[in-house]
Structure 1
Amino acid sequence: MIKTKYIGLFLAILGLSSCNSPDDVVPHVDEETLPELTSGTANFENYVSLGASLTAGYSDFGLFIAGQENSFPSMLASQFEKLGGGDFTQPLVDDNTGGILVGGTPVRGYRLTFNSEIPGPEPLNDFLAGLGVPVPPITTEAGINIGSDFNNFGIPGAKSFHLIAAGYAGANPYYARIASAPTATVIDDAIAQNPTFFTLSDIGAADVLGYALSGGDGTDPITDIATFNSSLEILIDKLTANGAQGVIANVPDILGVSHFTTVTHNPVPLDAQTAAYLNSMNAYGAYNAGIVQAYAYLVANTPLTQEMADEEIAQRTITFSEAPDNALVIVDKNLRDLTVLNPALINIRQATAEDLVLLTASSEIPNGVGVSTPMGDHLVLTPEEQNNIHDAAMAYNTSIESLANSNNLALADLKSIFEEASTTGIKFDDYFLNTDLVFGGLVSLDGIHLTARGYALMANTFLSAIDETYGSNFVASGNLMKAGDYPTAYSPTLE
């Protein structure tokens, strides 16, 4: 395998603090006298949250105590308490490692952390070991059931249909800890708390996230719209059966977060000698020659025109040069299958700016993946795969909005918040947040889930939606989360 020089994609990042860059600070404006907080028609007496990882407070590729305490439902409950809301209890894990055990074996490892002395986010255990600091053990055991008397039923990894599936505890360690019985459902355990008010979030986002994180390789398919719709209807029917009010969030564009935007399609620097070898008949030169030969056969023996053949040959030809920005070689299952003519002519091409390379590819590229060997389908999203995600999210959002309206529920517009953050950046009190990795302030070190400050912005989006539907005045009265009260990074030495 050829080892290429690889100058870090995103990992040469210097410094991190609990706030954004000083250049992103917005001048402070004194607040005027605000009206007294009122609840409108909303009843916050017993608030229950239902959803997946965002609801749980998942951050930095892990669930840990500090992250849970900064979950957006916990933030909402702190505001609801001012209007008669009761205690809000969460199924806190046992430590701040981010990991969880099943039978003593980790099924989720340590959370990610970052320090300017280390080239990029890395697992907490590796970071601490590198500093010669004792590594705390993972102590949360999924096999120890702690009961189901909680208000937060955010289950990391849960899709819409998982929340109504009997026996889901057997498939998800986070739910196994709190399931009322082995055959219980998340939704039934949630409504057993008799909520007067609820939030339903991650519905739809979780249903496309697994597909996106697997590069659309088919191992984790998108939930079909019929299954999604029926699951959503059951969830809302059960949540509102006893008159509970609530908020449901729509589906943001998950492809705008840093897990899918940090690694460029062309991050490979090559010298002249390496580029020449890759172009030779000992490497991709033989593949290129085989492609030309295969298309000549197709033009002569099938209805394929020479013009179409030339376009496909150009798309599939692999060429490297002495340059700092060579494109990666990727597998693309949407290409014409030529293996029936020659088994060596696998479906590969060089990536373009239209492709999204996953953050997980960053550790593979220095080893030659995408250069001397093609990058697998699981590490990149082609335009066709991106369209599958966008189409599903659009269909989900149509259903979510329709059911929110027909059930008189508030609709939290996370889609607009994420869109603004990923394009122009979004103002939050004295800061501008965007979706950049490490320094953007919104997205945590895993490039997918939110920072505590990001969850605070999410909580405010819910409060704004509650005001609009139920006549409360959280926004007008200034009873919102303050950006400066929440960090964008957690210390690696959390106790």
Structure 2
Amino acid sequence: MKKIIISTIAVSALLFTTSCENDFDTDVKDIQVSKGNADFSKYVALGNSLTSGYRDGALYSDGQNESYPSMIAQQMKLVGGGDFKQPLMPDNNGGLLLNTLAGPVQIANTKLFISGFVNGSPDIKNANNNTATALVNTILTGPFNNMGVPGAKVAHLLAPGYGNIQGIATKTANPYFVRFASSPTTSVIADFKAQKPTFFSLWIGNNDALLYALAGGDATVETLTPPAQFTQYYNALINEIASTNAKGVIANIPSVTSIPSLTTVPYNPLTASVLGGGNVTVGNATIDNLNTNLYGPLSQILAAVGGAGRIKPLSKTEANPLLIVDESLPNLGAQITGAALASGNPTLIALATYLGATYGQARQAKAGDLVPLTSKAEIGTLQTLPPGVPASLGAKGIAYPFADKYVLTATEVTDVNTTIDAYNVTIKAAADAKGYAFVDANKKMVELNSQSGISFDGVRYTAKFVTGGAFSLDGVHLTGRGYAIVANEFIKSINAKYNSSLPQVNANNYSGVRFP
């Protein structure tokens, strides 16, 4: 999945879903519907890309029409719910062009699709060469019931000017909110309150951790919102919502480290076949060359300077781990340089300064490290190297260590999950304090990731990339079927809290991953 070009407004979000045996326990044909003690006449949904219907790495109209809030709204109509208006994109290409003072600016990526298969694996590409086709010159006429804003963190929903087109250049505005903000100075929460909703849903906070995780835990690319700050903003948001006296439902945050975008690419994808482009003989020769000129000498030098085990020679028969930078390790760069100079090996002596500067915090990846889907395309691409350094040493993740942004280390995984746990304490406390219905998305994500997954009328869904049916091609957002599973979790929580009997939707009636 690629990000919006604004770092703080990167494409976002996360997912979860339903029970493990058969969650379709309410037949829409037979149920006697009731609104209970809730009023669904004006339902407004707040959130980020998951709420908007974002999927396949983009926001496009067909995906928006299968957003989980729109599904919930259709069920609410059975008991007096009103119309549900969404800020639909102009086409199904995805991607967005906005007309700024500086001229048209492309803001987001176009959607992903499977163009075919290569060696049995789906070949995923961007539509229209990643170029948006529709120029958006005018602000859409609202108000809109679906106020999901792709890329938004909790604090963004409170920020005035978050929909000001001139703020895009300074990274203080969101291009998606620009499209439907009531004015350049408004905030998401202000436009929400102006609609005087009778019922709301809120699923926000995923991006406060997700964007950092997808950036490999590199704080120079994305930040992890501190729990205390998250609590401050979340409670401020809840207090603003509560001032409307609307009833509603809020969801917590699933572990972002269990989504396909972070669990599909193994930490050890370097087999002889991969290194040889499908030719094992070529791959074995590549391994011999790497072991002779890099891995062997480096492993010996590291063992001598206190870094034993960081790097070991590659195997011809086993899958080999990626080469990465781990900034938590002591930097042995000076020691590596010194040992190379003292080695007596002319090649090592010539490369001594380069080796120390490049491999001082390098190690091979290990179980527990997570590789984002977006990093897969970078494996083996060439890093520009200083003059005199063989170009073959520039193969990223193979001979040149992957930078921090390409891999979420096991330590960073723990940090992210611990932070999410703290976020979820805040969210549950807010639901209890205000008397709102609560969706335990984190628990449901665990069920989706189980071996059995969940099933609806004989169709099984899991968190497996592409074939699991619930996640779209970006590995973060859901398919229409996945969003239907989410809608049912919200519906079940609403019914339990407000004594309503909204029927669940049939997930199998919605779209999944499209194959050629």
Bigger drift between 265-274 and 169-178 goes to 265-274
Amino acid at match of 2:489: T
SS at match of 2:285: helix
- Point out 4+ residue stretches in structure 1 off by more than 4 angstroms: 28-35
Partners in 1 of 2:79 and 2:437 — Cα distance?
A: 18
**2:97 is the counterpart of 1:101:** yes
- 1:330-364, Cα deviation, whole Å (9 max, x unpaired): 11111112235443342111111211111112212
* Corresponding residue for residue 404 of structure 2: 377
Query: 5+ residue gaps in structure 2?
Result: 1-19, 168-172, 273-282, 338-355, 382-394
Partners in 2 of 1:254 and 1:229 — Cα distance?
A: 19
Report the number of matched residues.
437
CA shift for structure 1 position 30:
11
Check the 8 A contact 2:471/2:482 in 1, yes or no: yes
SS at match of 2:405: helix
Partners in 2 of 1:237 and 1:29 — Cα distance?
A: 35
Partners in 1 of 2:131 and 2:401 — Cα distance?
A: 38
**2:499 is the counterpart of 1:471:** yes
- 1:203-242, Cα deviation, whole Å (9 max, x unpaired): 2211111101100011211111122112111211111213
Partners in 2 of 1:144 and 1:226 — Cα distance?
A: 39
* Corresponding residue for residue 307 of structure 1: none
Partners in 2 of 1:286 and 1:113 — Cα distance?
A: 43
Partners in 1 of 2:439 and 2:376 — Cα distance?
A: 34
**2:82 is the counterpart of 1:81:** no
State which of 436, 445, 459 in structure 1 corresponds to 2:487.
459
User: Cα RMSD between the aligned structures?
Assistant: 2.4
* Corresponding residue for residue 504 of structure 2: 480
State which of 227, 230, 241 in structure 2 corresponds to 1:228.
230
* Corresponding residue for residue 288 of structure 1: 299
- 1:234-259, Cα deviation, whole Å (9 max, x unpaired): 21111121310000001011211111
Partners in 2 of 1:482 and 1:460 — Cα distance?
A: 9
* Corresponding residue for residue 363 of structure 2: 349
Query: 5+ residue gaps in structure 1?
Result: 1-23, 127-134, 296-311
Query: Structure 1 residues 30, 245: closer, same or farther in 2, change over 3 A?
Result: closer
TM-score by length of 2: 0.80
Amino acid at match of 1:275: I
* Corresponding residue for residue 20 of structure 1: none
Check the 8 A contact 1:249/1:414 in 2, yes or no: yes
Q: How does 1:196-211 map to 2 (within 5 A)?
A: 196-201=198-203, 203-211=204-212
CA shift for structure 1 position 109:
2.3
Partners in 1 of 2:418 and 2:408 — Cα distance?
A: 14
Partners in 2 of 1:365 and 1:227 — Cα distance?
A: 36
State which of 152, 172, 186 in structure 2 corresponds to 1:158.
152
Query: Structure 1 residues 117, 286: closer, same or farther in 2, change over 3 A?
Result: closer
Partners in 2 of 1:30 and 1:63 — Cα distance?
A: 30
* Corresponding residue for residue 332 of structure 2: 338
State which of 400, 405, 409 in structure 1 corresponds to 2:427.
400
SS at match of 1:59: coil
* Corresponding residue for residue 313 of structure 1: 308
Q: How does 1:244-323 map to 2 (within 5 A)?
A: 244-270=246-272, 271-280=283-292, 282-295=293-306, 312-314=307-309, 316-323=310-317
Bigger drift between 96-105 and 74-83 goes to 96-105
Check the 8 A contact 2:454/2:460 in 1, yes or no: yes
Query: Structure 1 residues 32, 206: closer, same or farther in 2, change over 3 A?
Result: closer
Partners in 2 of 1:32 and 1:139 — Cα distance?
A: 38
State which of 410, 417, 429 in structure 1 corresponds to 2:457.
429
SS at match of 2:106: strand
TM-score by length of 1: 0.83
% identity of equivalent residues: 38
CA shift for structure 1 position 138:
1.8
Query: Structure 1 residues 91, 331: closer, same or farther in 2, change over 3 A?
Result: same
* Corresponding residue for residue 63 of structure 1: 59
SS at match of 1:105: strand
Amino acid at match of 2:241: L
* Corresponding residue for residue 348 of structure 2: none
* Corresponding residue for residue 376 of structure 2: 362
CA shift for structure 1 position 328:
1.0
Partners in 2 of 1:35 and 1:199 — Cα distance?
A: 23
- 1:44-87, Cα deviation, whole Å (9 max, x unpaired): 01000001000000000000000000000000100111111111
